A and B are shown apart, each in its own frame.
Chain A
Amino acid sequence: MKDHSILILGARSDIGMAIAHRFAKEKYEILLAARNAESLNSDISDIKIRYGVKTTLYNFDVLKSKSYENFINELPKIPSIVISAVGLMGTQTKSEIDTEDASIIFRSNFEGPANILSIFANKFLDRGYGTIVGISSVAGEGGRASNYIYGSAKAGFTAYLSGLRNRVSKKNFHVLTVIPGYVSTKMTEGLKLPLILTSTPYQVAEIVFNAIINKKNVVYVPKIWRYIMFIIKSLPENLFKYTRL
C-alpha cells in the first residue's frame, strides 16, 4: 500500500489548517510547513490528540528560495500529497504604486509556490506517483481593477498548475487546481463579503479532500463561481474594461 501522508505549505492559513484536520481525520500522516513554525506547536498537539496521527512541523518561507533544498532535506519523507496553501493578498491600492510591495505579492502567490511545487513534481516523477494541489483564486480569472496585482499572480499560478497537469497527464500523477471564491478567513476579515458566494475553510477542505479522492482537475468553491467566472470571462474586453467588479 502507498503511504498516506500530506505536506501542507502555508499551514498557518485557515484553509491550510482546515485541510490538515480533514486529512488527519482520515488517518493521513500530517506534515505542516510555515514561517515561525514553532508558533504552531499547539496546533500540532491538537491534531495529534484529536486524530492520533503522526504530525510534524517544519520551518518554511516561500520567499527564501535558497532555503528550499534544506527544507526538503529536513523532511523525513517525500509525502504522497503536497498542497500549497501559501498566499498573500496585500492591499491593491498600495501594491499598484509600490513595486517592492507588488514584487512580494507576485513572489508569494506565484513564483514561490510554483518553484517549490516544481521540485516536488520532479521528485514525484522519479518516484512514480504523487498528488500536487494548488490553492489559487477566482481573482486569477481575468484581471480586475480591485485586485489585479494579487489576481495576476494567481493567474500565473493557475496557468502553471494547468501546464504541469498537461506535462504529467500520462503518468500516475494527479494535479488539482482549487479555485476558491470568497472564503471567510483571516485574510478576508473585515471585508464586505456576499454570504452566498462565501465559503468556510472547512467547506474548502471538504471539497479539496473529495477532489483528491476523485482525481478532479479543477474545482471551484463554492461551485457557483465556475459559472460566474464563465460569464465574466466571456465579456469582450471592450465591454469588460468599463465594468467595476
Chain B
Amino acid sequence: MIQMIADNIQKISGWGNNHFFNVVLRQPRTAIEIKEYIKNIDSIARGNGRSYGDSSINLYNTIDIKKLNRILDFNSKNGLVIVEAGIKLNEIIEVFLPRGWFPYVTPGTKFVTIGGMIASDVHGKNHHKEGSFRKYVRWFDIMLSNGEILRCSKTKNQDLFDWTFGGMGLTGIIINVAFKLKPISTKWIIQKTIAADNFEQTMENFDKMMNSTYSVSWIDCLAKGKNFGRSLLYVGEHAKKSDLPPHLKKEILSVSNKKKFKFIFNLPSIFINSYFIKIFNILKFHSEKNHKTKFIDYDKFFYPLDNLHDWNKIYGKKGFFQYQCVFPLNHSYDGIKAILKILSDNQIGSFLAVLKKFGNQTGSFSFPMKGFTIALDFPMNKKNLHIMNLLDDVVLKYKGRIYLAKDSRISSEKFHKSEKRIINFINFRKTKLKNLMFSSMQSKRLNI
C-alpha cells in the first residue's frame, strides 16, 4: 500500500515505541526558518528521537532540527568544535576520530544530536571521573519563543545556560553549540572484566575500580539466593599506540564500519520473556566472567547496541519502557538492592540492566548525582507497568530521582515528590523566559 505524507503530519514516538502520536513535524534548514515556525505557537525541538518517551513530541509543532547539521568551525590545537545543534554524534566521530579526537562524554548510542545531548545533559561511563556533557560545552546559542537568540555560557546568561542542561528542550531551541573534544591516540579501548558473585561485591567493585576512566556494570537481575545481584563490571581506558599488539597497529584511528544488522519488522512480543533472558544471563555471566583484559574498538565498547540498527523493534509492536533512576550515595546500597529484589522476586527480566556509580552533581537540573544509577528495559505490558510503579515508590523512599530522557510514564505527583528542583525550574521558566511557549507531551503530563 502506498503511504501518503500529508501536510507535514507524521506519526512519531520516542525510542521506546510505546506510544505513537500524529504530530505536525517541521523540518527547518536554518535558524531563520525555525523562527518562522515557532512564532506564536507552542513548540518543542526534536533531535534524532532517541529519548525513550514523550519528551521530544509536541502535537501541533514539533521542530525536527536534524537538518541544521553543519560543522561551523574546528580548532585543531585545542579540540574546540562549533556545530549546529542538529548534527549527530556519529557524524562528529566520523569526521574527528581519524584526526585523533573523540567526544569527552558519550551516551550508549552515537545516534543522538548534540542539541539532544544538552537537553538531557547526557552522561557516559566516565561520569565518576569526567562529569556530564555540560562540562565540555563552552557556549551555546538558544532561540526563545520570540525568535531572539541568546548566547549562553558559564559566564554569560548563566542561569539559562544552567537550566538548559537537563531542561528537556523546555527552555528554548538550541541552535549552535561550541564544545571540546578529547585528544586520543588510538581508537582502541583496553577493557577489563571484573566479575562479582553477589550484590555486595558488585557495589564494592566500583570503589575498587574508581580510578578507571570508564566503568559500567551489567547485572543479572533474575539471579536469586546466593547469586542475587551478581554482575560483570567492565572498565576501560583509551589505549596508547605503545599499548597495542602489532596486529592492531594497522588500524589506529579508523572509523569502524561494521556491517549493521537491521531490524525491519517488529519481532513478536513473546520473544522477550523471562525464560529467554534467564538463559541468556546465565550464558553471558559464565562465558565472560573469566575474560580479564582485551582490546576492543571504541564502537564495540561504547555502542554495542548501535550495530543492531533499530534494535527497539525486538520488543515488538507494543514497544517497551526504559527505567533509569539514581540514588544518593548514602541510600544507594538500599535503593539499588530494593529495586533488584522487586525484579528477582517477580522474575521480571530486563535485557539491559546496567549499574553505574556517578560522580558529583554539577548542573542545576541535570540527572546525575553522586551515587548509583540503574537502567532497565521492560517490554510494554500491564504487569511491567505495575512493577514500574513499585520502582517509583522505591525511588521516593530512598530519595532518588528518575531520568527524564528515559521516562514516559511516571505520574506527575510522584515526579514532583522525587524531584525537589522542579519548583525552581518552573519558576525560572515562568519568570525569566519571555512569552514562554515550549512544551512537550512529557512536560504536560508532568505539569512542568
Contacts and interface: CB of A to CB of B under 8 A. Distances in A.
A46 B72 contact: yes
A50 B72 contact: no
Given A42-B72, A194-B2, A195-B3, A189 B8 contact: yes
Contacts of A42: 70, 72, 84
Contacts of B73: 45, 49
A23 to B, nearest CB: 17
A43 interface: yes
A91 to B, nearest CB: 16
B29 A195 contact: no
B13 to A, nearest CB: 18
A2 interface: no
B4 interface: yes
A46 B87 CA distance: 11
B199 interface: no
Contacts of B269: none
B342 interface: no
B50 to A, nearest CB: 20
A45 B3 contact: no
A195 B72 contact: no
A45 B71 contact: yes
A45 B70 CA distance: 8
A189 B27 contact: yes
A43 B29 CA distance: 11
A196 interface: yes
A21 to B, nearest CB: 11
Interface string A168-192: 0000000000000000001001101
Contact of A195 (B2, B8, B70, B74): B2
B6 A192 contact: yes
* Interface bin, chain B: 10 to 19
Contacts of B2: 194-196
B33 to A, nearest CB: 9
A45 B5 contact: no
A193 interface: yes
A164 B70 CA distance: 37
A228 to B, nearest CB: 13
A174 to B, nearest CB: 31
Interface in B1-16: 2-8
Interface string B16-37: 0000000000010100000000
A190 B8 contact: yes
Contacts, number: 36
A43 B5 CA distance: 28
Nearest to B29: A186
Interface string A96-126: 0000000000000000000000000000000
B5 A46 contact: no
Interface of A is mostly: helix
A121 B7 CA distance: 41
Nearest to B99: A52
B209 interface: no
Contacts of A45: 70-73
Contacts of A196: 2
Interface in A26-56: 42-43, 45-46, 49-50
B84 A194 contact: no
A1 to B, nearest CB: 24
B95 A195 contact: no
A164 B214 CA distance: 62
Q: Which of A45, A46, A186, A195 counts the most chain B CB atoms within 10 A?
A: A46
A195 B5 CA distance: 8
A196 B29 CA distance: 24
A197 to B, nearest CB: 8
B144 to A, nearest CB: 21
A206 B152 CA distance: 39
B95 A50 contact: yes
A110 to B, nearest CB: 27
Contacts of A194: 2-4
A219 to B, nearest CB: 23
Contacts of A46: 70-72
Nearest to B96: A49
A98 to B, nearest CB: 25
A190 B7 contact: yes
Contacts of A193: 4-5
Nearest to A194: B2
Contact of B95 (A43, A49, A186): A49
Given A49-B95, A50-B95, A192 B70 contact: no
A196 to B, nearest CB: 6
Contacts of B72: 42, 45-46
Nearest to B69: A46
A186 B72 CA distance: 22
B95 A192 contact: no
Contacts of B7: 190, 192
Interface string A45-86: 110011000000000000000000000000000000000000
Nearest to B31: A42
Contacts of B3: 194-195
A186 B70 CA distance: 17
Nearest to A49: B71
A195 B4 CA distance: 7
Contacts of A186: 29
Nearest to B176: A42
A50 B84 CA distance: 13
Given A49-B95, A50-B95, A186-B29, A43 B4 contact: no
Contacts of B6: 192
Contacts of A190: 7-8
Nearest to B74: A49
A194 B74 CA distance: 40
A96 to B, nearest CB: 23
A164 B71 CA distance: 39
Given A42-B72, A190-B8, A195-B2, 15 more contacts: A43-B70, A45-B70, A45-B71, A49-B73, A49-B74, A49-B95, A50-B71, A50-B95, A186-B29, A189-B27, A190-B7, A192-B5, A192-B6, A193-B4, A195-B5
10 contacts: A45-B71, A49-B73, A186-B29, A190-B7, A192-B4, A192-B5, A192-B6, A193-B5, A194-B3, A196-B2
The 3 closest A-B CB pairs, nearest first, are A46-B70, A194-B2, A49-B71
